[in-house]
Structure 1
Amino acid sequence: MRDVILFTLIVAAGTGGELCVSRAMKVVGEARSFHPIEIVKVILRALRVPWMWLGVGMMAIAFFALLGALSLYNVSFVVPVTALSYVAGAFGGVTFLRERVSAQRWLGVLLVAIGVTLVFLGKS
């Protein structure tokens, strides 16, 4: 049960954080150049968007959960299982960000899910 909670926390908080940061950056917009003053302006605009703070907080939670998982399990198990973030990211992109995902990408997501299942089943 601890496994499920820990890995769900890593995947959900990590992917949720990435989705929130992505949404914030869509509000902020892109930097028009790489001049230091332009980069500072983009950073200051990003710091005023609540989605950014929520995303960073969620990613911090995922990071500390990942540290916890790495202290309990082998890296050869933890890293492949956290690849479920790709699956969650595709579903989150479609539902939360209203992105379009091609059939080819869905096939890739399916292959990742199959791979994670195989790694998880071979945990013993």
Structure 2
Amino acid sequence: MPHFILFTLIVVAGTGGELCVSRAMKVVGEAPSLRPAEVAKVILRALRVPWMWLGGGMMAVAFFALLVALSIYDVSFVVPVTALSYVAGAFGGVVFLREHVDFQRWIGVLLVAIGVTLVFLGKN
């Protein structure tokens, strides 16, 4: 049961952070060019968006939870199980960011979920 809580924290905080950063960058917009001055302006604008800070904090929590998981479990177990973030990301994109996910992507998400289930069941 403790590994379930740890991996849920990794997936939820990591994916939540990515969704928040994505939302912030949709507010900020893209740099008109890759010149350092233009990129710096985009970064400074991004730092003024609260979603960016929330996302960064959530991603930090996920990172440190991942470090804990890697100190306890084999990497051959940790990395495949954290692939559930792809599943969470697809659902989060639809619900939180109002993105369209086509049928082919949902099939990919299903395959990832099946693979993670097989890895997780093999641990017990």
Gapped runs of 5+ residues in structure 2? none
User: Where does residue 120 of structure 1 map in the other structure?
Assistant: 120
| 1:1-124 equivalence runs, <5 A | 1-124=1-124
- The two structures have a TM-score, normalised by structure 2, of 0.99
- d(CA) in 1 for partners of 2:99 and 2:34? 27
The sequence identity of aligned pairs, in percent, is 83
Question: How far apart are residue 78 of structure 1 and its match?
Answer: 0.1
Question: How far apart are residue 49 of structure 1 and its match?
Answer: 0.1
Count of residues in correspondence between the two structures: 124
**What is the root-mean-square deviation of aligned Cα atoms in Å?**
0.5
- The two structures have a TM-score, normalised by structure 1, of 0.99
Question: How far apart are residue 9 of structure 1 and its match?
Answer: 0.1
Q: Which amino acid aligns with 2:88?
A: A
Give the SS at the match of 2:100: coil
- d(CA) in 2 for partners of 1:16 and 1:40? 25
Deviations 1:22-57 (A, max 9, x none): 000000000000111101100000000000000000
- d(CA) in 2 for partners of 1:66 and 1:36? 32
- d(CA) in 2 for partners of 1:83 and 1:65? 15
- d(CA) in 1 for partners of 2:115 and 2:17? 24
Q: Which amino acid aligns with 1:17?
A: G
- d(CA) in 2 for partners of 1:37 and 1:70? 39
Gapped runs of 5+ residues in structure 1? none
Deviations 1:49-94 (A, max 9, x none): 0000000000000000000000000000000000000000000000
Superposed structure 1 runs of 4+ greater than 4 Å apart: none
